[in-house]
Structure 1
């Protein structure tokens, strides 16, 4: 993984961090559930919740990046290009 040399933050980052910390806590619970011999159904449900939280954090990060960084890079766009960009942003919801 490469690391950029400058700070790169957006308004959504605190919310993403909050979601990831919540997922981290749930993941610790899942490990404890496995170690404690809890039923597989309970473990699977918790794992699903962790996975969903991480997916939502990733989606938020990508959409925020598109909203800010990509538009800043490409600058002003014509009507047709803006529509293409809007479609591109919309499809990221299915990541």
Structure 2
């Protein structure tokens, strides 16, 4: 089981994702209301980009905070490499 962690930027990332969730809800309404597909696709792209940016911010935050100099001194190189390999597969 992985341990829980909350970094300095997690609140901002959660805020971004809540905003993207609201935007996605609006896109669903657009589809239900018969909005032209080009407009729906444009809005879906905006939601995708918002989620993608939040994901990248989370990964950068993790690398900055969990793999800092202190972590490097406390952990083996193999453990750090394994963690980097795991997190970067989501980029």
Q: TM tier, shorter chain?
A: 0.7 to 0.9
Distance 1:67 1:56 in 2: 16
Is residue 36 of structure 2 the alignment partner of residue 39 of structure 1?
yes
The alignment's C-alpha RMSD in Å is: 2.0
Structure 1: which 5+ runs fail to align? 77-87
In structure 2, what is the Cα distance between the partners aligned to 1:34 and 1:18? 25
Give every structure 1 segment of 4 or more consecutive aligned residues whose post-TM-superposition deviation is greater than 2 Å.
none
Structure 1 residue aligned with 2:45: 48
TM-score when scaled to structure 2?
0.74
Residue 64 (1) aligns with residue 61 (2): yes
